[in-house]
Amino acid sequence: MPKRITSEEFDARFDVGEDMDEYLDYDAITVDDPSPRDVLLSLPEWAIATAEAEAKRRNVTRRAILNTWITDKADEVRMHIIA
Protein backbone atom coordinates (compact mmCIF):
# COMPACT_ATOMS: atom_id res chain seq x y z
CA MET A 1 0.00 0.00 0.00
CA PRO A 2 1.50 3.35 -1.00
CA LYS A 3 2.05 6.15 1.47
CA ARG A 4 -0.70 8.77 1.51
CA ILE A 5 0.05 12.45 1.02
CA THR A 6 -1.96 15.41 -0.21
CA SER A 7 -1.94 16.31 -3.89
CA GLU A 8 -0.15 19.54 -3.00
CA GLU A 9 2.62 17.60 -1.24
CA PHE A 10 2.81 15.17 -4.15
CA ASP A 11 3.14 18.00 -6.67
CA ALA A 12 5.79 19.78 -4.61
CA ARG A 13 7.89 16.65 -4.17
CA PHE A 14 7.51 15.74 -7.83
CA ASP A 15 8.50 19.25 -8.92
CA VAL A 16 11.82 19.03 -7.06
CA GLY A 17 12.57 15.64 -8.62
CA GLU A 18 11.89 13.38 -5.64
CA ASP A 19 11.38 9.66 -6.33
CA MET A 20 7.61 9.19 -6.19
CA ASP A 21 7.43 5.38 -6.30
CA GLU A 22 6.45 5.04 -2.64
CA TYR A 23 3.35 7.17 -3.27
CA LEU A 24 2.09 5.28 -6.32
CA ASP A 25 -0.05 2.14 -6.39
CA TYR A 26 1.12 0.48 -9.59
CA ASP A 27 -1.34 -2.41 -9.14
CA ALA A 28 -4.27 0.01 -9.42
CA ILE A 29 -3.15 1.59 -12.70
CA THR A 30 -5.42 0.97 -15.66
CA VAL A 31 -4.83 1.85 -19.28
CA ASP A 32 -7.67 2.67 -21.64
CA ASP A 33 -7.72 0.84 -24.94
CA PRO A 34 -6.45 3.45 -27.41
CA SER A 35 -7.81 1.57 -30.42
CA PRO A 36 -9.94 3.98 -32.42
CA ARG A 37 -13.47 3.11 -33.56
CA ASP A 38 -15.21 4.70 -36.48
CA VAL A 39 -18.50 6.45 -35.78
CA LEU A 40 -21.00 8.21 -38.01
CA LEU A 41 -21.51 11.76 -36.83
CA SER A 42 -24.18 14.24 -37.94
CA LEU A 43 -23.38 17.86 -37.09
CA PRO A 44 -25.02 21.19 -37.85
CA GLU A 45 -23.57 23.07 -40.79
CA TRP A 46 -22.09 25.81 -38.57
CA ALA A 47 -20.12 23.19 -36.57
CA ILE A 48 -18.73 21.65 -39.76
CA ALA A 49 -17.80 25.08 -41.12
CA THR A 50 -16.07 25.96 -37.85
CA ALA A 51 -14.13 22.69 -37.90
CA GLU A 52 -13.15 23.21 -41.53
CA ALA A 53 -11.92 26.75 -40.82
CA GLU A 54 -9.87 25.57 -37.85
CA ALA A 55 -8.46 22.67 -39.85
CA LYS A 56 -7.42 25.02 -42.63
CA ARG A 57 -5.84 27.42 -40.12
CA ARG A 58 -3.80 24.58 -38.58
CA ASN A 59 -3.15 22.86 -41.90
CA VAL A 60 -4.66 19.55 -40.75
CA THR A 61 -7.71 17.54 -41.75
CA ARG A 62 -11.21 18.29 -40.54
CA ARG A 63 -11.25 14.77 -39.13
CA ALA A 64 -8.15 15.54 -37.04
CA ILE A 65 -9.77 18.69 -35.63
CA LEU A 66 -13.03 16.92 -34.76
CA ASN A 67 -11.10 14.04 -33.20
CA THR A 68 -9.08 16.45 -31.06
CA TRP A 69 -12.12 18.49 -30.00
CA ILE A 70 -14.20 15.45 -29.06
CA THR A 71 -11.33 13.71 -27.26
CA ASP A 72 -10.46 16.87 -25.30
CA LYS A 73 -14.07 17.30 -24.20
CA ALA A 74 -14.40 13.62 -23.28
CA ASP A 75 -11.23 13.85 -21.17
CA GLU A 76 -12.55 16.97 -19.45
CA VAL A 77 -15.87 15.26 -18.62
CA ARG A 78 -14.13 12.06 -17.48
CA MET A 79 -11.81 14.01 -15.15
CA HIS A 80 -14.80 15.87 -13.70
CA ILE A 81 -16.61 12.59 -13.04
CA ILE A 82 -13.53 11.02 -11.41
CA ALA A 83 -12.86 14.05 -9.17
Q: What is the pTM of this model?
A: 0.58
Amino acid 42 reads S
pLDDT tens digits, residue range 53-67?
999 999 999 999 999
Between CA 3 and CA 13, with CA 78 as vertex, the angle to 5 degrees is: 30
Q: Find the helix or strand (DSSP H, E) in which 60 lies.
A: none
Task: For 18-77, write each residue's pLDDT tens digit.
Answer: 999 998 888 888 877 778 889 999 999 999 999 999 999 999 999 999 999 999 999 999
